[in-house]
Chain A
Amino acid sequence: MIPAHWAAQGTAIPLTWNILQDVRQLFEFHFMVNAFRAGTVVAVAAGLLGWFMVLRAQSFAGHTLAVAGFPGAAGATLAGLNPAWGFFAFCGAGAAIIAAVPRARAGTQGAGFSEESAAIGTVQAVALALGFLFVSLYHGFLNGINALLFGTFLGITDAQVGVLVAVAAVIVLALAIGGRQLLFASVDPDVAEARGVPVTTLGVAFLLLLGFAAAEASQITGSLLVFALLVIPAATAQRLTARPAASIALSVVIAVAVTWLGLAAAYYSSYPIGFSVTTFGFAAYTLAQIATHRAGGRQA
């Protein structure tokens, strides 16, 4: 699927001044079409879940879920399975473990000192160590470790795209049904609970969905760079507007945009996908900071 000259040199597709030509060239190969399909799906899921993660100040949990995918993918490779299954299995398991630790309510304790963060840190260390073990056991796999940690967009099959679409559909559907209650439970848990909103159940369900979103994003950005899609678009969107609906939509748009730009940049340059996606995200975030700082009082 991947053209030999391209894979061998890792670059050398010339960028012209003819944008139409460039875009046509971008979709010339099926592997690249699949990369765009997968990237778009992943960006939508990450933009949505990431928005709630940033709102709930659960970035550390999100990061740990993503790191948990690394031993999953490494272990799956070791066992001769598709790494995607390892990502999903371990991210899901990590979410279940973190959900089992009682979460301190926002505002009642300093988040940095809660039991949750210590437990999450422990999970993260064990996950990384386990991943390193699997990589060591699988001799000759050391080239693949970069892809698992820092992302790749090569060799995504039609079947993989199908799985990503299915999982993303579950995420979108779940949020369409319970998103408003999740927002209530995130912003105002005490009042939500008194109103009969299942605050604890929603918290657990959210972590599981976050695990799946992290597993999806990991397959493009790698385990260590999921925040490029999970945090940066959401943080940028929340910086730009405090209207929830607009903010969520913006988060998704930014996630998709940086993914497309990142894929194009990686295709036309020799720089890896994890770097290019993160860089475009960082640029958006920086611009948003500057714009809102200069706008001063404009908050809504």
Chain B
Amino acid sequence: MNLRSVAADPTAATAASTAELVDATASLGGRTVWSGVNLTVEPGEFVAVIGPNGAGKSTLVKVLLGLLPLAGGEATVLGRPPGEASDRIGYLPQRRSFDPGLRVRGIDVVRLGLDGDRWGVPLPGLGRMRRRQEDDRRVDEVLGLVGATNYAQRPVGRVSGGEQQRLLIAQALVRRPALMLLDEPLDSLDLPNQAAVAALISDICRDQGVTVMLVAHDVNPILSYIDRVVYVAGGRAVSGTPHEVVRSDTLSRLYGTPIEVLTTSDGRLVIVGHPEAPARNCDRHLQHD
């Protein structure tokens, strides 16, 4: 079987790709997380990054954001080195919900995504009013887009997990990014909310023309929406269409241990025998080292 990006000819990638890794190695605290990773994400694609806990999915996101320099190889994001195009990337970090006591409204959190990195205070007059009005309109627009208008005025810690995720997606979207990096946005949501948020992200990807890379534990809630899967495991990564990647021989090779992928009658994929349990929660520890 010929997998598209791992070990594929890296020079074949066009300069117009949204994100690209060539023979990339990432390490945290002297330990290699993954190595030899080649990856090309094309504009407008909806890509899922899947893998067990601790495999380095969040590390991949941090590399693309420029928060973690590569230990080897090369990375390009939106045609520039990682970190230089951060104003065109919408980022939703792994988390974490807001503290229930946080007395800031949802709309303020979204707005900070728009102007939170500006210096100075917004004073009326001095030609700033027009910019503020434009900002207000844009914030209202994205709140409508994610369906958060009704609870945007409430303190962000007081809305439900699904509502918080929608607000955070609005925050990531508010600056009209070319690329959205969403780190486990479906984590800690119940199944109906997972389906609803996955559908919302898919709509945004198609309608707004935004490239989306979404990190998830489980491929199933997003299976019907995604163009490609990047499967991170065992210090390496494989990418391709879901049915190229999520199958017994590919995953067995990746993990180096027999893995069986079963398909249920409704098309869901069940992965049997993958060695996730010992590595549980490593992701979170790695993140904050």
Contacts and interface: CB of A to CB of B under 8 A. Distances in A.
A247 B104 CA distance: 9
A107 B153 CA distance: 22
A106 B105 contact: no
Interface residues of B, number: 39
Chain A interface residue number, banded: 20 to 34
Given A180-B118, A180-B121, A192-B117, A300 B104 contact: no
Given A108-B284, A300-B154, A180 B116 contact: yes
A184 B91 CA distance: 14
A31 to B, nearest CB: 35
Interface in A209-263: 238-239, 241-244, 247
Chain A interface SS verdict (over half): helix
A184 B121 CA distance: 13
Contact of B104 (A57, A179, A190, A244): A244
A284 interface: no
Interface in A160-211: 176-181, 183-184, 187-188, 190-197
Contact of A107 (B86, B92, B96, B121): B96
B155 interface: yes
A299 interface: yes
A112 to B, nearest CB: 13
B103 interface: yes
A178 B91 CA distance: 22
Given A108-B96, A179-B121, A300-B154, A192 B102 contact: no
A179 B104 CA distance: 15
Contacts of B96: 107-108
A229 to B, nearest CB: 19
Contacts of A293: none
14 contacts: A107-B95, A107-B97, A180-B119, A187-B108, A188-B116, A190-B93, A191-B116, A192-B116, A194-B65, A194-B67, A195-B91, A238-B103, A242-B104, A299-B153
Given A55-B102, A180-B115, A243-B105, 10 more contacts: A180-B120, A181-B117, A190-B91, A194-B65, A194-B67, A194-B86, A196-B86, A238-B103, A242-B104, A300-B153
Interface of A: 55, 57, 105-108, 176-181, 183-184, 187-188, 190-197, 238-239, 241-244, 247, 299-300
